[in-house]
Amino acid sequence: MAEKKHRLLKAAAVTAAAGAAAYAGTGYYIFRNAFDLLHSPEYAGKTGVKRLSTGIGEKNEWFAHCQRDDEFLDSYDGLKLHALRITNLDTHKWIILQHGLCNYSGGMLDFLYEADHRGYNILAPDARGCGMSEGRYTGLGWNEHYDLISWINHLLNIDPEAEIALYGINSGAAAVMNTTGDYLPANVKCAVEDGGFSGIKEIILHQIKEKCGADASLLLPSVDLYVRQFLHFSMNDVSLQRQLKQSVTPTLFVHGTEDETVPASMVFDNYYSCAAEKELYTVEGCGFAETYLQEGYFDTIFSFIAKYM
């Protein structure tokens, strides 16, 4: 009888160990796909310096001949970060343009072109792990918001009289929204977020449900173990909604009504959480990363910015 009980306990221990390993392994798989830029299917891989093709089209010709410089700074956790600076003479108006996941500063050609031709200086950072910036992991807008604050301070060293608008796309929009919830210098006049999600846990759960048809909420504690280990924060301790409730920065919230990658409903979560002056711009018929293709999009964006500059 004792031997049989021993065998049962041993079998139960083996089963529990196998279950724990499977749980941890699934959590790591989700973490790797969501945060590890070297393995995420959403990111093609870091290939160093990326360049636009030149000589094809007006915008590429402009980029090839515009006054641009490379800026570098050290992040709070020791990464060397890069930004592209494009300068218009005789103005202190600046756009800090933060790209989204799977992109880099030079990949924002339409946005760079529009800002320059509307009379703004531009600082376009490469997010950590992208373009010429060091790093392997994305913080989906959390670590990046500290980087964005560093770039604001860096810009003020270049131009102490700068008037700054923050402008972010997708995960860059999450970084912008998180930034507005921290103390910012008065030089930051307004912000635009386009296609931002309503939180890290929320976008991970949505993506898993879209791809697998399953509710993965029970797996989040396992994912968070790896977030804490590699990114040094807990998903339970960060809140984009809390940041927006603390914001005093006038913000324009933009989203495509047909966006399924980042559900359009998330823009309303963000908009209603924001305590600052705010406007909402939903772009009919546009899916993920399509809003800027809509006629009148840039007129709306820069009309909002002009109110505060």
| Residue of 106 and 164 predicted with greater confidence | 164
* 177-195 pLDDT, tens digit each: 999 999 999 999 999 999 9
Is-contact 121 94, C-beta < 8 A? yes
Residue 69: closest CA among 18, 123, 19: 123
| Residue of 3 and 92 predicted with greater confidence | 92
Percent of the chain scored above 70 by pLDDT? 86
Q: Say how far apart CA 187 and CA 180 lie, in whole Å.
A: 12
Least confident of 85-99, 202-216, 227-241: 202-216
Half-sphere exposure of 109 (CA within 13 A, CB side): 15
Is-contact 22 79, C-beta < 8 A? no
Least confident of 99-103, 180-184, 208-212, 286-290: 208-212
Residue 16 in tokens: 């529990």
Helix (H) or strand (E) holding 190: strand 188-194
Residue 7 in tokens: 């065998």
Residue 308: how many other CB atoms lie within 10 Å: 14
* 80-110 pLDDT, tens digit each: 999 999 998 789 999 999 999 889 999 999 9
Is-contact 264 282, C-beta < 8 A? yes
What is the predicted pLDDT for the residue at 278? 98
What is the predicted pLDDT for the residue at 232? 96
Residues paired with 165 in a beta bridge: 95, 190
Binning pLDDT at 50, 70 and 90, where does residue 11 land?
very low
Collapsed DSSP state (helix, strand, coil) of residue 299: helix
Q: Say how far apart CA 302 and CA 60 lie, in whole Å.
A: 22
Residue 235: closest CA among 216, 248, 249, 250: 216
Gyration radius from the chain CA atoms: 22
Average pLDDT over residues 272-278: 98
Q: Say how far apart CA 266 and CA 131 lie, in whole Å.
A: 28
Residue 303: closest CA among 260, 240, 243, 250: 250
Average pLDDT over residues 140-146: 98
Is-contact 92 162, C-beta < 8 A? yes
257 — phi, psi (to 5°)? -70, -20
Helix (H) or strand (E) holding 94: strand 93-98
Name the DSSP class of 255: E
What is the predicted pLDDT for the residue at 41? 60
Q: Please, is 298 exposed, middle or buried when counting C-beta atoms within 10 Å of its C-beta (0-12, 13-18, 19+)?
A: middle
CA 18, distance to chain mean position in Å, is: 36
Q: Say how far apart CA 256 and CA 286 lie, in whole Å.
A: 5
Is-contact 220 251, C-beta < 8 A? no
Q: Is the pLDDT of residue 13 over 50?
A: no
Q: Say how far apart CA 295 and CA 106 lie, in whole Å.
A: 23
